[in-house]
Amino acid sequence: MAARRFAEAGPDAVRLDAIAEAADVARGTLYSHFRTKDDLLCAIVEPVLRLAVRKTAALGRLDARTGIDQMLRLYLELWHAYPDALRIAYKAQDMPLGDLGTLHRNFLKGVLRVFDRANQAGILRSGSPLLAGHVLRQVAVPLLELYASHPDGDGLFVEGLRALLLTEPRR
């Protein structure tokens, strides 16, 4: 319930008191588990980020196209399992989220390894792994939201990002 509220309204627009009231939990009980809003946000996002870090670690060893495809499939997997956490992470991407900095950096390292491999193979459209990472960061979650109700939303997501990121379509 808290994840949904944060995802819909954005972290800045939600108060912990409102979360406690909506969950019919005493404020003291909520505050005994989460001292701050950032603590609660971290608790929502951390498991997803841990999974993303674990799964991206192996992607940099794959061939360039397969690595990109698997990374896009990972976004779909995370979206289907944790859409609210991804929305929160997207909306809070410029907020410091406590102890998640190391996890986030490790995730970015994995993503950049995939993009570096694609760049070395000459198929990265921008020619810059860092720029490709910024494109993915800004576009992935909004595209997932946009295509969520489309019957072929997953396919449209993958094809759209391939077109943005890679120089030639997958055959």
The C-alpha atoms of residue 64 and residue 81 are separated, in whole angstroms, by 26
Report the pLDDT value the prediction gives residue 169, as an integer from 0 to 100. Answer: 55
The C-alpha atoms of residue 35 and residue 134 are separated, in whole angstroms, by 32
Low-confidence stretches of the chain (pLDDT beneath 50): none
Report the pLDDT value the prediction gives residue 170, as an integer from 0 to 100. Answer: 53
The C-alpha atoms of residue 116 and residue 80 are separated, in whole angstroms, by 27
**CB contact at 8 A, 71 and 113:** no
pTM of the model: 0.87
The C-alpha atoms of residue 3 and residue 87 are separated, in whole angstroms, by 9
The C-alpha atoms of residue 119 and residue 114 are separated, in whole angstroms, by 9
Query: Directed axis angle between helix 37-57 and helix 101-120, to 10°?
Result: 30
Burial of 62 (0-12, 13-18, 19+ CB in 10 A): middle
Report the pLDDT value the prediction gives residue 39, as an integer from 0 to 100. Answer: 85
The C-alpha atoms of residue 10 and residue 167 are separated, in whole angstroms, by 35
**Residue 67, both tokens:** 């690595």
Backbone angles phi, psi at 19, to 5 degrees: -65, -45
The residue extents of the domains of the chain are 44-165
The C-alpha atoms of residue 170 and residue 53 are separated, in whole angstroms, by 26
pLDDT digits (tens, 9 = 90+) for 12-35: 788 888 888 888 888 888 888 888
pLDDT digits (tens, 9 = 90+) for 129-146: 999 999 999 999 999 999
